Structure 1
Amino acid sequence: IELATEEPKDGELSLVSGWGQTQNEEESRDLLRAVIVPIVDRNRCGEAYRVDFETLPESMICAGDWEEGGRDACYGDSGGPLVVDGKLAGIVSTGDGCAKPGAPGIYANVVTVREWIREVSGV
Protein backbone atom coordinates (compact mmCIF):
# COMPACT_ATOMS: atom_id res chain seq x y z
CA ILE A 1 0.00 0.00 0.00
CA GLU A 2 1.23 3.47 -0.82
CA LEU A 3 2.16 5.75 2.10
CA ALA A 4 0.32 9.05 2.48
CA THR A 5 2.29 12.19 1.67
CA GLU A 6 -0.18 14.63 3.23
CA GLU A 7 -2.04 14.52 6.54
CA PRO A 8 -5.77 13.83 6.03
CA LYS A 9 -8.17 16.71 6.53
CA ASP A 10 -10.98 17.10 9.06
CA GLY A 11 -14.07 15.19 7.96
CA GLU A 12 -12.27 13.20 5.27
CA LEU A 13 -13.41 9.57 5.28
CA SER A 14 -10.99 6.82 6.20
CA LEU A 15 -11.13 3.03 6.46
CA VAL A 16 -9.77 1.26 9.53
CA SER A 17 -9.52 -2.52 9.69
CA GLY A 18 -8.43 -5.23 12.10
CA TRP A 19 -9.19 -8.46 13.92
CA GLY A 20 -9.92 -6.83 17.27
CA GLN A 21 -13.00 -6.58 19.41
CA THR A 22 -16.18 -4.92 18.25
CA GLN A 23 -17.12 -3.77 21.78
CA ASN A 24 -15.23 -3.12 25.02
CA GLU A 25 -16.07 -6.52 26.55
CA GLU A 26 -16.03 -8.80 23.52
CA GLU A 27 -13.19 -11.21 22.64
CA SER A 28 -11.07 -10.66 19.53
CA ARG A 29 -12.32 -12.36 16.37
CA ASP A 30 -10.71 -14.41 13.64
CA LEU A 31 -12.64 -12.40 11.05
CA LEU A 32 -11.13 -9.27 9.55
CA ARG A 33 -13.50 -6.33 9.99
CA ALA A 34 -13.44 -2.81 8.58
CA VAL A 35 -15.32 0.40 9.26
CA ILE A 36 -15.41 3.85 7.69
CA VAL A 37 -14.64 6.69 10.11
CA PRO A 38 -14.19 10.42 9.55
CA ILE A 39 -10.93 12.18 10.38
CA VAL A 40 -11.32 14.44 13.44
CA ASP A 41 -9.69 17.86 13.59
CA ARG A 42 -6.44 17.88 15.61
CA ASN A 43 -7.60 20.67 17.96
CA ARG A 44 -10.98 19.06 18.61
CA CYS A 45 -9.34 15.71 19.28
CA GLY A 46 -6.83 17.36 21.60
CA GLU A 47 -9.73 18.73 23.65
CA ALA A 48 -11.03 15.18 24.16
CA TYR A 49 -7.66 14.00 25.45
CA ARG A 50 -6.52 17.14 27.31
CA VAL A 51 -5.72 15.03 30.40
CA ASP A 52 -3.24 12.96 28.37
CA PHE A 53 -1.80 15.65 26.07
CA GLU A 54 -1.40 19.38 26.47
CA THR A 55 -1.79 19.45 22.68
CA LEU A 56 -2.10 16.50 20.35
CA PRO A 57 1.38 15.84 18.92
CA GLU A 58 1.92 16.15 15.16
CA SER A 59 2.88 12.47 15.25
CA MET A 60 -0.78 11.58 15.92
CA ILE A 61 -4.07 11.93 14.06
CA CYS A 62 -7.61 11.10 15.17
CA ALA A 63 -10.58 9.45 13.54
CA GLY A 64 -14.00 8.38 14.74
CA ASP A 65 -17.67 9.26 14.86
CA TRP A 66 -17.52 12.26 17.22
CA GLU A 67 -21.27 12.76 17.64
CA GLU A 68 -22.69 9.23 17.66
CA GLY A 69 -19.78 6.94 18.48
CA GLY A 70 -20.26 3.32 17.48
CA ARG A 71 -17.52 3.26 14.80
CA ASP A 72 -13.89 2.91 15.83
CA ALA A 73 -10.88 0.65 16.11
CA CYS A 74 -10.92 -1.40 19.33
CA TYR A 75 -8.78 -3.65 21.50
CA GLY A 76 -6.79 -6.04 19.33
CA ASP A 77 -6.68 -3.66 16.33
CA SER A 78 -3.46 -1.90 17.40
CA GLY A 79 -0.93 -1.73 14.59
CA GLY A 80 -3.65 -1.95 11.95
CA PRO A 81 -4.09 0.42 9.01
CA LEU A 82 -6.04 3.66 8.66
CA VAL A 83 -6.43 4.20 4.93
CA VAL A 84 -7.44 7.44 3.21
CA ASP A 85 -7.87 7.54 -0.57
CA GLY A 86 -6.09 4.20 -0.92
CA LYS A 87 -3.02 5.37 1.01
CA LEU A 88 -1.81 4.41 4.48
CA ALA A 89 -2.41 7.55 6.56
CA GLY A 90 -2.39 6.17 10.09
CA ILE A 91 -1.62 3.18 12.29
CA VAL A 92 -4.04 2.21 15.08
CA SER A 93 -2.54 3.30 18.39
CA THR A 94 -4.86 4.12 21.31
CA GLY A 95 -8.05 5.81 22.48
CA ASP A 96 -10.48 5.99 25.37
CA GLY A 97 -12.25 2.65 25.17
CA CYS A 98 -13.93 1.79 21.89
CA ALA A 99 -16.31 3.84 19.78
CA LYS A 100 -17.37 6.31 22.48
CA PRO A 101 -18.96 9.59 21.35
CA GLY A 102 -16.51 12.48 21.79
CA ALA A 103 -13.51 10.11 22.14
CA PRO A 104 -12.11 9.34 18.68
CA GLY A 105 -9.39 6.78 18.10
CA ILE A 106 -5.79 7.96 18.03
CA TYR A 107 -3.49 6.83 15.22
CA ALA A 108 0.21 7.24 14.49
CA ASN A 109 0.48 9.84 11.72
CA VAL A 110 2.24 8.05 8.84
CA VAL A 111 3.28 11.36 7.24
CA THR A 112 5.54 12.08 10.24
CA VAL A 113 7.24 8.65 10.14
CA ARG A 114 7.14 8.11 6.37
CA GLU A 115 10.89 8.43 5.87
CA TRP A 116 11.63 6.01 8.73
CA ILE A 117 9.18 3.48 7.26
CA ARG A 118 10.86 3.81 3.86
CA GLU A 119 14.34 3.38 5.35
CA VAL A 120 13.40 0.31 7.39
CA SER A 121 11.13 -1.40 4.85
CA GLY A 122 12.59 -0.22 1.58
CA VAL A 123 9.07 0.75 0.42
Structure 2
Amino acid sequence: MTVTAYTLAVVLDLFILFIGARFLLRPRPAAAGYGVPAKADGDPAYLSVKGLRDLTYGVLGLALLVFAGARAEAWFMLAVVIVPLGDTLVVLRHGGTRAVAFGIHFATAVTVLISAALLFAV
Protein backbone atom coordinates (compact mmCIF):
# COMPACT_ATOMS: atom_id res chain seq x y z
CA MET A 1 0.00 0.00 0.00
CA THR A 2 2.93 2.36 0.66
CA VAL A 3 4.12 2.20 -2.94
CA THR A 4 0.59 2.88 -4.20
CA ALA A 5 0.10 5.81 -1.82
CA TYR A 6 3.39 7.46 -2.75
CA THR A 7 3.01 6.75 -6.46
CA LEU A 8 -0.49 8.24 -6.62
CA ALA A 9 0.64 11.32 -4.68
CA VAL A 10 3.64 11.87 -6.97
CA VAL A 11 1.53 11.38 -10.10
CA LEU A 12 -1.06 13.89 -8.87
CA ASP A 13 1.63 16.42 -7.92
CA LEU A 14 3.39 16.05 -11.27
CA PHE A 15 0.09 16.24 -13.14
CA ILE A 16 -0.92 19.52 -11.50
CA LEU A 17 2.60 20.84 -12.11
CA PHE A 18 2.16 19.98 -15.80
CA ILE A 19 -1.24 21.68 -15.91
CA GLY A 20 0.22 24.79 -14.30
CA ALA A 21 3.06 24.91 -16.81
CA ARG A 22 0.59 24.44 -19.65
CA PHE A 23 -1.51 27.38 -18.46
CA LEU A 24 1.62 29.53 -18.36
CA LEU A 25 3.00 28.40 -21.73
CA ARG A 26 -0.16 27.67 -23.78
CA PRO A 27 -2.98 29.39 -21.90
CA ARG A 28 -5.78 29.31 -24.48
CA PRO A 29 -5.57 25.57 -25.28
CA ALA A 30 -5.20 24.88 -21.55
CA ALA A 31 -8.36 26.87 -20.82
CA ALA A 32 -10.25 24.90 -23.46
CA GLY A 33 -9.06 21.66 -21.84
CA TYR A 34 -10.15 22.99 -18.45
CA GLY A 35 -13.70 23.18 -19.77
CA VAL A 36 -14.22 26.93 -20.14
CA PRO A 37 -12.52 28.29 -23.25
CA ALA A 38 -10.87 31.68 -22.86
CA LYS A 39 -12.48 34.58 -24.68
CA ALA A 40 -10.35 36.01 -27.47
CA ASP A 41 -10.68 39.51 -26.02
CA GLY A 42 -10.35 38.35 -22.39
CA ASP A 43 -7.59 39.28 -19.99
CA PRO A 44 -4.89 36.58 -20.22
CA ALA A 45 -3.59 37.50 -16.76
CA TYR A 46 -6.26 35.29 -15.19
CA LEU A 47 -5.01 32.29 -17.12
CA SER A 48 -1.50 33.02 -15.83
CA VAL A 49 -2.84 33.20 -12.28
CA LYS A 50 -4.35 29.72 -12.68
CA GLY A 51 -1.08 28.45 -14.12
CA LEU A 52 0.95 29.88 -11.28
CA ARG A 53 -1.50 28.50 -8.69
CA ASP A 54 -1.35 25.00 -10.13
CA LEU A 55 2.41 25.07 -10.62
CA THR A 56 2.84 26.14 -6.99
CA TYR A 57 0.55 23.39 -5.70
CA GLY A 58 2.51 20.79 -7.64
CA VAL A 59 5.87 21.96 -6.30
CA LEU A 60 4.52 22.26 -2.75
CA GLY A 61 3.02 18.78 -2.88
CA LEU A 62 6.30 17.25 -4.03
CA ALA A 63 8.27 19.20 -1.42
CA LEU A 64 5.96 18.07 1.37
CA LEU A 65 6.19 14.47 0.29
CA VAL A 66 9.99 14.53 0.09
CA PHE A 67 10.81 16.67 3.13
CA ALA A 68 7.88 16.24 5.52
CA GLY A 69 6.50 12.79 4.67
CA ALA A 70 3.25 11.05 3.91
CA ARG A 71 1.20 12.52 6.75
CA ALA A 72 1.97 16.12 5.75
CA GLU A 73 1.18 15.27 2.14
CA ALA A 74 -2.11 13.69 3.22
CA TRP A 75 -3.16 16.89 5.03
CA PHE A 76 -2.09 18.90 2.00
CA MET A 77 -4.25 16.70 -0.24
CA LEU A 78 -7.23 17.21 2.07
CA ALA A 79 -6.73 20.98 1.95
CA VAL A 80 -6.30 21.27 -1.82
CA VAL A 81 -9.28 19.07 -2.68
CA ILE A 82 -11.16 22.37 -2.52
CA VAL A 83 -9.55 23.34 -5.83
CA PRO A 84 -10.95 20.59 -8.08
CA LEU A 85 -14.31 20.83 -6.30
CA GLY A 86 -14.32 24.56 -6.98
CA ASP A 87 -13.23 23.95 -10.55
CA THR A 88 -16.25 21.67 -10.96
CA LEU A 89 -18.53 24.55 -9.97
CA VAL A 90 -16.67 27.06 -12.13
CA VAL A 91 -17.09 24.88 -15.21
CA LEU A 92 -20.80 24.34 -14.50
CA ARG A 93 -21.46 28.04 -13.82
CA HIS A 94 -19.62 29.31 -16.89
CA GLY A 95 -21.03 27.22 -19.71
CA GLY A 96 -18.85 24.14 -19.55
CA THR A 97 -20.30 20.69 -19.99
CA ARG A 98 -21.36 18.42 -17.16
CA ALA A 99 -19.12 15.75 -18.67
CA VAL A 100 -16.03 17.92 -18.19
CA ALA A 101 -17.14 19.23 -14.80
CA PHE A 102 -17.75 15.80 -13.34
CA GLY A 103 -15.58 13.62 -15.59
CA ILE A 104 -12.45 15.70 -15.08
CA HIS A 105 -12.73 18.03 -12.10
CA PHE A 106 -14.99 16.07 -9.75
CA ALA A 107 -13.19 12.84 -10.63
CA THR A 108 -9.92 14.59 -9.78
CA ALA A 109 -11.35 15.61 -6.40
CA VAL A 110 -12.30 11.99 -5.67
CA THR A 111 -8.82 10.83 -6.71
CA VAL A 112 -7.21 13.43 -4.44
CA LEU A 113 -9.35 12.20 -1.53
CA ILE A 114 -8.32 8.62 -2.26
CA SER A 115 -4.71 9.74 -2.30
CA ALA A 116 -5.13 11.44 1.07
CA ALA A 117 -6.72 8.31 2.55
CA LEU A 118 -3.90 6.10 1.26
CA LEU A 119 -1.27 8.48 2.60
CA PHE A 120 -2.93 8.56 6.03
CA ALA A 121 -2.93 4.74 6.01
CA VAL A 122 0.85 4.36 5.50
Q: Same fold (TM over 0.5)?
A: no
TM-score for both structures, normalised by structure 2: 0.22
TM-score for both structures, normalised by structure 1: 0.22
Q: Which has the higher helix share?
A: 2
Larger Rg belongs to: 2
Q: Which has the higher strand share?
A: 1
